[in-house]
Amino acid sequence: MSTAIDQSAQPGNAHAGKIVTIERFILDEQQSYPDATGTLTSILYDIALAAKIIASKTTRAGLSDILGSAGKENVQGEVVQKLDEYADRTIFRLNDHTGRLAVMASEEHEDILPIPDHFSVGPYVLLYDPLDGSSNIDVNVSIGTIFAIYRRKTADGRGTLQDCLQRGRDLVAAGYVIYGSSTMLVYSTGHGVHGFTLDPIIGEFLLSHPDIRIPEKPKFYSVNQGYEQFWSAGVQRYTEWLQGKDKTAKPLSLRYIGSLVADFHRNLLMGGIYYYPSDTKDPEQTTGKLRLVYECAPLAFLAEQAGGMAITGTERILDLQPTTLHQRVPFFIGNAELVTKAQEMIQSFD
């Protein structure tokens, strides 16, 4: 039986049978770019470190009632932070002083996060959702961190909002960390998608899923079907098609965790589509729930790198020019064939 880090069975894999740490892999990737300065490499290292620190807390999340809950003092007399705030602080503090970033932005904050004045700035921009699906923490369901890295657009000085509002197609790197039955970091710098599993004993991310491709034969569709009545006719008809109701396709199984990273990760490895369409359940917010810059664009970048697609229903996610930091968009992501079918049905029936 193969284990998570046994890649020997995968033909054509340069790392077959070798134990490759994330550091080694990132460095090897960097060496294929003679002009690379190592700055991006170092940012990815820091994200991997943040992931380990956050993972060490998520695995103890259920102990808060015993050891002290958020906002209260723990047994050591320290004030316990909420896990999403902790993740947010951890990523910021690991990256604010390195001189590699011009500015950051986090889903937890309304505005951009400037680099403090006493630290120097660098050429890149980091956007992140520190702990997506955090409403699942209390029930021990997988959660995730999503990150997106761009080159700054402004010439110099502190980075600005303009640096953060970039099209997904200009991403330099993107990825996520899933805190599940094991912790995994999955990322792309535009040369395939690679996954690393954290060995908690030695504290290293080891290459476990090189060059991930979405399987051609999809298995699952993932959507919050409880809101079906609030969807457009096109999305309703598409869902019936996925269920095989019109007899033109075989039904897919429904899997929905309600934790975007976990739902996306499963479909990336097993094949399928995740969608969160526009709906009318809240008349104030009819553009879907998920945020373009923090959630949709980075995952769209990974999906395309893995041979899949991501759209709003009509437009390619990576082509969208964000207008605000917390802009929400309808989101369909997964196997190219399923995403294309969604687009066709939405165009025909909406």
- Contact residues for ligand AHM (CB under 6 A)? 132-134, 224, 258-260, 263, 289
Among all chains, which residue has been given the structure tokens 């060490």? 56
- Interaction partner, residue 190 (Mg ion, ligand AHM, none; CB < 5-8 Å by kind): none
Residue length, the chain? 350
Tokens found for residue 23: 């550091």
CB of 263 to ligand AHM, least distance (A): 6
CA 62/CA 67 separation, integer angstroms: 9
CB of 51 to ligand AHM, least distance (A): 17
**Strand locations in 168-226 (E):** 173-179, 183-188, 194-199, 204-209, 220-222
CB of 347 to ligand AHM, least distance (A): 25
- Interaction partner, residue 42 (ligand AHM, Mg ion, none; CB < 5-8 Å by kind): none
Q: Of 257, 230, 295, 225, which Cα lies nearest the Cα of 135?
A: 257
- 98 or 222: CB nearest Mg ion: 222
- 261 or 345: CB nearest Mg ion: 261
CA 339/CA 275 separation, integer angstroms: 9
- 133 or 168: CB nearest ligand AHM: 133
- 31 or 285: CB nearest ligand AHM: 285
- 128 or 301: CB nearest ligand AHM: 128
- Residues in 286-305 that interact with Mg ion by CB under 5 A: none
- What is the rounded radius of gyration, in angstroms, for the C-alpha atoms of the chain? 20
Interface with Mg ion: number of residues (CB under 5 A): 2
Which residues, including other chains, have CB under 8 Å from residue 61's CB and lie 6 or more apart? 83, 137, 138, 140
- 135 or 321: CB nearest ligand AHM: 135
163 near Mg ion, judged by CB under 5 A:
no
CB of 345 to ligand AHM, least distance (A): 21
CB of 129 to Mg ion, least distance (A): 4
Which residues, including other chains, have CB under 8 Å from residue 189's CB and lie 6 or more apart? 29, 40, 44, 172, 173
CA 244/CA 10 separation, integer angstroms: 33
Tokens found for residue 2: 């193969």
- 163 or 263: CB nearest ligand AHM: 263
CB of 306 to Mg ion, least distance (A): 21
DSSP-assigned beta bridge partners for residue 196: 185, 207
- Residues in 83-142 that interact with Mg ion by CB under 5 A: 129, 132
- 244 or 258: CB nearest Mg ion: 258
- 327 in helix, strand or coil? coil
- 61 in helix, strand or coil? helix
Angle, alpha carbons 185-333-162 (nearest 5°): 75
CB 208 within 8 A of CB 7: yes
- From the CB of residue 38, how many other CB atoms can be counted at a distance below 10 Å? 12
Amino acid at 309: M
- Interaction partner, residue 289 (Mg ion, ligand AHM, none; CB < 5-8 Å by kind): ligand AHM
- Interaction partner, residue 258 (ligand AHM, Mg ion, none; CB < 5-8 Å by kind): ligand AHM
CB of 126 to ligand AHM, least distance (A): 17
CB of 331 to Mg ion, least distance (A): 12
- Interaction partner, residue 243 (ligand AHM, Mg ion, none; CB < 5-8 Å by kind): none
- 121 or 177: CB nearest ligand AHM: 177
- 100 secondary structure, DSSP code: -
Residues of the shown chain interacting with Mg ion in the complex, contacts defined by CB under 5 A: 129, 132
